[in-house]
Structure 1
Amino acid sequence: MPRKKKPLLSIYWDCQNIKITSELADKLVNFVKTRGSVSHQRAYSNWKQENGDRAKYIERLGFERIDVPDTSKNSVDYQLIVDATQEAFGDKSADIFIIVSGDGDFSGLLSILKAQGKKTVVFAREGGSSKVLLDLADEVQPIERSPDTAKLPVFRDVSLLIRALTHRSYVNEHANAGEDNERLEFLGDSVLNFLSSRFLFNRYPEINEAQLTRLRSALVDEVQLADFANYLEIGKQIRLGKGAIKDKGYNNESLLSDTFEAIVGGYFLDSGLDAVWEFIEPLFIAAAESFDDMQTDISAPILVDSKNRFQQWTLEHFSCHPEYIIVDQSGPDHHKEFTAEVQVQGKVYGMGRGRTKKEAEKRAAENGLKKVGVL
């Protein structure tokens, strides 16, 4: 009786979606050995931007490194799709195609491969890949989540998490890195404002609008959001450019706060408001308990921000409004710091610094209130 022919397998590895590790490379090679014989082992990236030692390691295992120097978005995806499709329609095609990626852009490729009678196996991160892609695959081999992301919510579309962690300084230095996280930050800020408002409204039914506004400001201000980011160990995961790394951006409160907002925005798009609430509620509860520990006087009849309080004081004593002047700004674009003065009739009452003009003015007002004995 003739011996059954071993199936041929080809690996197509999107190294920009699933990063190179020696463990994963070994796992892929061993997987092929247990299922049949190798046809192609192809790894796609802009190889000038990859770790040289890891690149040499996978080359020693027989991987062909396909260099995609094109800096346009999704250029790696396009090249991988073209090569896999050409093989599928060729005379010496593999029987099983292994796609190493969680990117939904490969859903169309899987449909083409299946139409050609090919079996498809997807290696993708646990909980961090396109649901459409995984549903199309004949077999899914999970890649364990990185310990660095264990505290973050599980994204179905990992590309949203990657974008949320991508600072514009990284995009400036890596033209094919895709979109930075600023639009997601904008969205996340709105989601956090809504969820924090609802949380405080339900937690403190006895306090008025001004008091709720003050508490919300404390719950989602830069310092508090940076604390959330530190707890979640976001800093070491942010994709930064060399300049931002040199400026210790991983520890910068402003950058941490912005990235946390971007993650919230990305998770909202990925899984919806209810999922975001499940993720964020424990953080809000812990922060609110710390407010209580500090004996925040939420029952005070007047609980408004420092600028309004200082304005009330100047109207009472001088019958005029205070004037805020930005007297200095410094630092790179990703870490601006503004210095503001608050003046009344030409006299300086306080000075403050912050990452935004509004924050600097608020701190100037707080210092002004301290100077006149209100705080």
Structure 2
Amino acid sequence: MTLEMVHRPTVAVFADAQNVNLFKHSTAILDFVNSLGDVPCLYAYHHWRSVPLKKEQKLQSQSWRCVDIPTIAKNEVDKNLMKDFVELCRFREPDILVLITNDGDFEKMVRPYLKPGRQVIVIGYKSNMSQKLRRLLPKGILFVENLRNALPGLT
């Protein structure tokens, strides 16, 4: 009897935690991304100094790497998330990229990674999802309110 190694896709997750409430939706997000494959990269960007430590620690206990953006200047979270996203994709080439945001500013970042063999998924709120992202990924947008329904094997 031989054991076959089953390749599970690698999943990289980047969350704009100022844009989507991870404290409320973390469990649903984690269940969903873990159903896609192995998740070695799970990053949450925020000005964590402004958040009660217990909330950040809860996310860390769920394996989120909380990346603190020490300034509250406009778009600093976006800039740092984009820089890390591009850097990771240059060296690791994950099979599935998951971006948690509603922000259309990420459209330019996502576009170059839309290529055969790679899947890009954006998770955000139905009521606030950027039209730019909706047009770019008509089948790759999921709404955090509906994630439980997106899990394989659940209806």
TM range (shorter): 0.7 to 0.9
What are the equivalent positions in structure 2 for 1:222-261 lying under 5 Å apart? Answer: none
Alignment pair present for 1:15 and 2:17: yes
CA contact (8 A) 1:39 1:94 kept: no
The separation in 1 between residues aligned to 2:57 and 2:133, in whole angstroms, is 30
The structure whose RCO (Cα within 8 Å, separation 6+) is larger is 2
Closer, same or farther: CA 48–116 of 1 in aligned 2, 3 Å: farther
CA contact (8 A) 2:29 2:144 kept: no
Cα offset, 1:116, TM superposition: 8.0
Closer, same or farther: CA 66–52 of 1 in aligned 2, 3 Å: same
What are the equivalent positions in structure 2 for 1:1-375 lying under 5 Å apart? Answer: 2-21=4-23, 23-90=24-91, 92-115=92-115, 118-137=118-137, 138-144=139-145
Work out the number of aligned pairs and report it: 143
The separation in 2 between residues aligned to 1:52 and 1:11, in whole angstroms, is 22
The separation in 2 between residues aligned to 1:33 and 1:61, in whole angstroms, is 12
Instruction: Please give the secondary structure, in 2, of the residue aligned with 1:99.
Output: strand
Letter in 2 for 1:121: I
The separation in 1 between residues aligned to 2:144 and 2:34, in whole angstroms, is 18
Cα offset, 1:117, TM superposition: 5.0
Cα offset, 1:127, TM superposition: 2.2
The separation in 2 between residues aligned to 1:126 and 1:139, in whole angstroms, is 13
CA contact (8 A) 1:85 1:112 kept: no
Structure 1 or 2: more helix by fraction? 1
Single out whichever of 96-105 and 125-134 deviates more from structure 2: 125-134
In structure 2, stretches of 5+ residues that fail to align are 147-155
Cα offset, 1:88, TM superposition: 1.0
Post-superposition Cα deviations, 1:196-215, rounded to whole Å, max 9, x if no partner, equal xxxxxxxxxxxxxxxxxxxx
The separation in 2 between residues aligned to 1:38 and 1:8, in whole angstroms, is 6
In structure 1, stretches of 5+ residues that fail to align are 146-375
1:301 maps to which residue? none
The separation in 2 between residues aligned to 1:35 and 1:144, in whole angstroms, is 18
Post-superposition Cα deviations, 1:313-372, rounded to whole Å, max 9, x if no partner, equal xxxxxxxxxxxxxxxxxxxxxxxxxxxxxxxxxxxxxxxxxxxxxxxxxxxxxxxxxxxx
Instruction: Please give the secondary structure, in 2, of the residue aligned with 1:144.
Output: helix
Q: Alpha carbon RMSD of aligned pairs, Å?
A: 2.0
The separation in 1 between residues aligned to 2:71 and 2:136, in whole angstroms, is 29
Instruction: Please give the secondary structure, in 1, of the residue aligned with 2:43.
Output: strand
